[in-house]
DNA sequence: TATGAATGAGTATTCATTCAT
DNA sequence: AATGAATGAATACTCATTCAT
């Protein structure tokens, strides 16, 4: 076969077929992830099992192993997606804003909103499987790293612009992270105590605290 | 039996026996709780099972059901103890101190120290079984309420003394709680990222933030 | 309660009940072992599974774990029994005989007969789970040791009586063991090649070889 | 196509292609067998699986079915190779030697050496899949038959030369086989009991026994 | 020639819980 | 007060094999 020649009809067919199967494969993979995600939402991390995922998509449990090496691989793929959405949410919230402090506020609000909107995912991302986030290497371009980088960049931007008083970017980032995570985490674990209204309050208070304390 | 009459010898015997048995009962109950606590420390919430608790104390699994209605009851009793110790730790740290802000700082440091010293208990208390804390009724004199009251009192004291600027005690308490919990929670879930050294740093930063922002 | 006093009716009843339950327990344990043994015979070592054992006795798989810690424990118990029967067979064959060489011959014939009568057990005992026999400590009074001791004693006796030429008892025992095992093992693995008739022949030849070579 | 006519250019091309593909086919077949053999060595008969073989050669499991009808077919092909090497080893050990008894001794030593050098293959050849050896038809020129014929020939030669006392060649061969197999088999199954040193001893004792008993 | 997709059957093991004694 | 017996449900995972392409 000449590499330069146009593909024959058979070749075109074959490639089409390959592409179709490839896309079908991606579809099923996606369906598995979706089902797994739903299951997390409904049953939480503890109630999550491969068998139930399989049942949900109407395939045999074995089939899952064609798409993911094992349970952890599936969970990690799920978390990759989740961090992707998380990072996107953060970026979408902060990108349009230029004022450094407003940017920071938007980041915080987006962070909390994500946590409250996807509490069980958040729980898995930051609590149940902290090891996943922990495994990330700084150099990587992975979603889990990217999410954190948005925070870091926003802080750095605020400091650089003089809106935030000078300080160690990493340390300040970590402090802000802890505050946001604390709020979300309490709200998720004790929704009756830390109701959405109280979250709104404490969010506001936290912002004031930060403005007063860090500017 | 007449409540007002003096107890007969038999009655006295019976009561003594009852007391002995009662105290024996309490002993075994305590042994169960201790074993359960140890198991939590060693295996975490997920690895915790009644069978292993039973094996550890040398009784049959069934016996546990004589002292606790079910797994959750045992866990809740355990959490009662844990909150008791937690509250005690907070009180011991704050009681000797009279300066309002120093008191607050001591509270925060004790909170974080407790979390890092008993990470698996902390995790169960505030993350895995937030429902337990949530069930508490404000009126109760339970440990879980008491712990939170220490925080509230310390904040109220600082405000009353003018050390902290006026504000809603509950709201400020919640904010402080969120900060402390955020630090501890991140440190527990991602110990390689949030190392003890970074905890110390962020703890310091948090204090500064609070001094600047709330005083 | 006075330790010296006669048991009360209740005590007698209780003990009777305990004994009954104890014996019932032993019965089920025995039933499990029997079913397991049958399963070995029918399916061989590879086809052996706890679930099938359970099904066979009409109990749930879980029940087996009440009697045996795990699969290996069951298998080892089974092998203990098998070595017990094996040792008994060897002893029953050799005990009545006083003539040293006749004793040795009887031993050999009993060994081979056992192997051919219980081929799948033999296979597990000496081939599949050689680790079990290997684990035995010389000092123990276990069946698996006892079996081998019969051989050793018989050899020692023959040497002591002058019927066998002097030599290292262990070495000679091992040689005889290898011969017997070789015959049995070939007969089990390739029954169509090493038919019972050929076993009889080779057994005879082996005896002659030994008489000529070792006396 | 006329068989007598000269091949056209196209035909020649076609045949070359067929040959190339044929040889490629043989190559992959060989790669499968090699990987399978390695896997046996590493995991033993029980740990052997087609999937792992496939993974090892970088092909899909399905591909193996293009070269072998099923798992057993692959194993049998493997055993053919193994018996081939086995027979070769025996022949190489005995061929150079002319003295009948020395030849016999060399055979025995080579047999045992092979078993100890390739214990897992030996186990499959003679224990796990005795059915393979058993299926062999005497008339065939297969390796598995050839191996046994070396033994038979050596015995026959020793008898014919008067070095071994007259007797049924098959019976004596079987006896010798049993002895060699017994030694190897015990050494493989219980390496801690039947250590290499003890194998050397028992090998020596066996030889002496045979010299004394069969010459 | 080679593979991707899929499955059904099977494995050992753990767990919380109930019931009768 | 304590236990022994028993179970049903669940889990992750592996395997040989088939089918359509």
**Sign of the dihedral through C-alpha B109, B114, B120, B122:** negative
Q: Has residue B75 been placed in a domain?
A: no
> Exposed/middle/buried for D53, CB within 10 Å: 0-12, 13-18, 19+?
buried
Q: Are residues B66 and B97 in the same domain?
A: no
Chains B/C: 3 or more C-beta pairs closer than 8 A?
no
Report yes or no on C75 lying in a domain: no
Q: What confidence score (pLDDT) does residue D17 get?
A: 63
Residue in D130, D185, D209 nearest the CB of C209: D209
Q: How far apart are CA B148 and CA B127, in angstroms?
A: 16
Establish if B137 touches chain A: CB-CB under 8 angstroms: no
Residues C148 and C79 sit within 8 Å (Cβ to Cβ): no
Q: How far is C28 from chain D (nearest CA, A)?
A: 30
3-state class percentages of chain C: helix first, strand second, coil last, to nearest 5: 75, 0, 25
- Say if D109 is an interface residue toward chain C (CB within 8 Å): no
From first to last of its 215 residues, chain A has per-residue pLDDT tens of 344 455 555 445 555 555 656 666 678 999 999 999 999 999 999 999 999 999 999 999 999 999 999 999 999 999 999 999 999 999 999 999 999 999 999 999 999 999 999 999 999 999 999 999 998 876 667 888 899 999 999 999 999 999 999 999 999 999 999 999 999 999 999 999 999 999 999 999 999 999 999 88
Residue D170 lies in a domain: yes
Q: How far is CA A75 from the centre of its chain?
A: 12
Cα–Cα distance measured from residue B36 to residue B59, given in angstroms and rounded to the nearest whole number: 13
Query: Subunits touching D (CB < 8 Å, at least 3 pairs)?
Result: C
- pLDDT category of residue D215 using cuts at 50, 70 and 90: confident
What are the Cα distances from residue A52, in Å, to A59, B44, D205? 10, 24, 63
Q: Please, are residues D97 and D152 in contact by the beta-carbon 8 Å criterion?
A: no
Q: Do D208 and C213 touch (CB under 8 A)?
A: yes
Q: Is the dihedral of CA C132, C134, C139, C142 positive or negative?
A: positive
Element containing residue A171 per DSSP (H, E): helix A169-189
Q: Do A210 and B214 touch (CB under 8 A)?
A: no
Average the pLDDT over D121-132 and give the result: 95
| B209 closest CB neighbour out of A190, A202, A214 | A214
In this structure, are C87 and C66 located in the same domain? no
Classify residue D102: in a domain, yes or no: yes
Instruction: Name which of D190, D205, D213 is nearest C171 (Cβ-Cβ).
Output: D205
Q: Are the Cβ atoms of A134 and B201 closer than 8 angstroms? A: no
Q: How far apart are CA D215 and CA D208, in angstroms?
A: 10
Two structure tokens written together for D86: 């086995």
CA–CA gap between residue C187 and residue D12 (Å, rounded): 54
| Residues in Cβ contact with B120 at an 8 Å cutoff, skipping those fewer than 6 apart | B40, B41, B44, B45
What DSSP state is assigned to residue C129? T
Which pLDDT value is given to residue B73?
Answer: 94
The first and second tokens of residue A90, run together, are 């953060």
Rounded CA separation C34/C56 (Å): 10
In a domain, A184, yes or no: yes
Based on the fold, state whether residues C56 and C161 are members of the same structural domain: no
C-beta of residue A103 within 8 angstroms of C-beta of residue A67? no
Q: CATH no. for residue D108?
A: 1.10.357.10
Tell whether D65 and D85 lie within a shared domain.
no
Asked if residue C56 is part of any domain, the answer here is yes
Q: Which nucleotides of chain F are near protein (any atom < 7 Å from a CB)?
A: 1-21
Residues A62 and A104 in one domain: no
Residue C1 is predicted with a pLDDT of: 40
Give backbone dihedrals phi and psi of D2, rounded to 5 degrees, phi first. -85, 125
pLDDT at B27: 85
Q: Which of the listed residues D40, D70, D100 is the one where a domain comes to its end?
A: D70
To test the contact with chain B by mutation, choose from A129, A202, A208 the residue with the greatest count of B C-beta atoms within 10 A, namely A202
More confident site: A164 or D138:
A164
Q: Which of C190, C193, C214 sits opposite D209 (nearest CB)?
A: C214
- Decide: A and B in contact? Rule: 3+ Cβ pairs under 8 Å: yes
Q: Could you tell me which residues come within 8 angstroms of residue A31 by beta carbon, excluding any fewer than 6 positions away?
A: A57
Cα–Cα distance measured from residue D14 to residue B116, given in angstroms and rounded to the nearest whole number: 75
- According to DSSP H, which parts of chain B are helical? 9-43, 50-57, 61-67, 71-94, 100-117, 119-123, 130-135, 143-160, 169-189, 196-214
Choose the final residue of a domain: D17, D37, D70. D70
Do the Cβ atoms of D201 and C172 come closer than 8 Å? Answer: no
Q: Of D42, D70, D98, at which residue does a domain stop?
A: D70
DSSP codes joined into one string, D4-46: SSPPPHHHHHHHHHHHHHHHHHHHHHHHHHHHHHHHHHHHTTT
The ranges of chain B with pLDDT < 70 are 1-25, 138-141
Same domain, B200 and B106: yes
Statement to judge: residues A153 and A194 lie in one domain: yes
Q: Compute the radius of gyration of chain B from its Cα atoms.
A: 21
Query: Residue B62 maps to which CATH number?
Result: 1.10.10.60
- Give the model confidence (pLDDT) of C28-55 as tens digits: 999 999 999 999 999 999 999 999 999 9
CB contact under 8 A, A180 and B182: yes
Residue scoring higher pLDDT (B214 or D205): D205
> Same domain, yes or no, for D179 and D86?
yes
Chain C residue numbers touching D132 (CB-CB < 8 A): none
Largest CA distance in chain D: 71
What mean pLDDT is reported for chain C? Answer: 90
Distance CA(C180)–CA(C173), nearest Å, equals 11
Check if the beta carbon of residue C48 is closer than 8 Å to that of residue C38: no
Task: Check whether residue D23 and residue D115 sit in a common domain.
Answer: no
Task: Give the model's confidence band at D92: pLDDT under 50 very low, under 70 low, under 90 confident, else very high.
Answer: very high
D75 part of a folded domain: no
From A92's Cα to the closest Cα of chain B, the distance in A is 24
Task: Tell me how many domains chain B contains.
Answer: 2
Would an 8 Å CB–CB cutoff place C120 in contact with chain D?
Answer: no
What is residue A18's predicted lDDT score, i.e. its pLDDT? 58
- CA B158 to C1' F18 (Å) is 75
For residue D102, what are its two tokens?
A: 């020395």
- pLDDT of D4 reads 40
Q: Within a 10 A sphere around the Cβ of A187, how many other Cβ atoms? A: 24
Residues C14 and C119 in one domain: no
Name the nearest CA neighbour of A84 among A164, A145, A143: A143
**Distance of D97 CA from F10 C1′ (whole Å):** 66
C130 and chain D: CB distance < 8 Å anywhere? Answer: yes
So what's the pLDDT on residue A3? 40
Residue D24 has pLDDT above 80, yes or no: no
pLDDT the model gives residue C215? 85
pLDDT tens-digit series, residues C98-125: 999 999 999 999 999 999 999 999 999 9
> A83 CB near a chain B CB, below 8 Å?
no
Same-domain check for residues C107 and C194: yes
> What DSSP element (H or E) covers D170?
helix D169-189
Neighbours of C113 (CB within 10 A): 15
Nearest to B111 by CA among B84, B124, B93: B93
* CB-contacted nucleotides of strand E (7 Å): 1-21
pLDDT in tens, C137-179: 766 678 888 999 999 999 999 999 999 999 999 999 999 999 9
Segment C188-208, tens digit of pLDDT: 999 999 999 999 999 999 999
* Boundaries of domain holding D159: 80-214
Q: How many CA atoms lie within 13 A of A57 on its CB side?
A: 24
Same domain, B128 and B168: yes
Q: C183 vs A9, which has greater pLDDT?
A: C183
Q: Does A179 touch chain B (CB under 8 A)?
A: yes
Measured from Cα to the C1' atom, the residue closest to E3 is D60
Asked whether residue A75 is domain-assigned, the answer is no
């Amino acid at each position: 076969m000449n590499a330069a020649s146009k593909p024959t009809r058979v070749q075109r067919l074959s490639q089409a077929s390959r592409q179709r199967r490839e896309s079908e494969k991606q579809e099923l993979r996606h369906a598995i992830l979706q089902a797994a995600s739903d299951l997390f939402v409904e049953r939480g991390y503890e109630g999550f099992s491969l068998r139930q995922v399989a049942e949900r998509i109407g395939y045999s449990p074995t089939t899952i192993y064609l798409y993911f090496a094992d349970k952890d691989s599936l969970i990690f793929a799920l978390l990759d997606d989740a961090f992707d959405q998380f990072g996107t949410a953060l970026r979408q919230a902060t990108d349009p804003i230029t004022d450094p402090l407003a940017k920071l506020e938007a980041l915080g609000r987006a962070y909390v909103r994500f946590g409250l909107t996807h509490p069980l995912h958040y729980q898995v991302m930051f609590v149940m499987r902290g090891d996943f986030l922990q495994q990330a290497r700084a150099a990587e371009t992975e979603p889990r790293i990217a999410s954190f980088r948005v925070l870091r960049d926003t802080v750095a931007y605020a400091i650089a612009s003089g809106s935030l008083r000078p300080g160690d970017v990493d340390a300040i980032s970590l402090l802000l992270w802890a505050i946001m995570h604390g709020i979300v985490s309490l709200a998720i674990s004790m929704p009756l105590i830390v109701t959405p209204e109280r979250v709104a309050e404490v969010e506001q208070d936290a912002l004031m605290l930060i403005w007063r304390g860090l500017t």
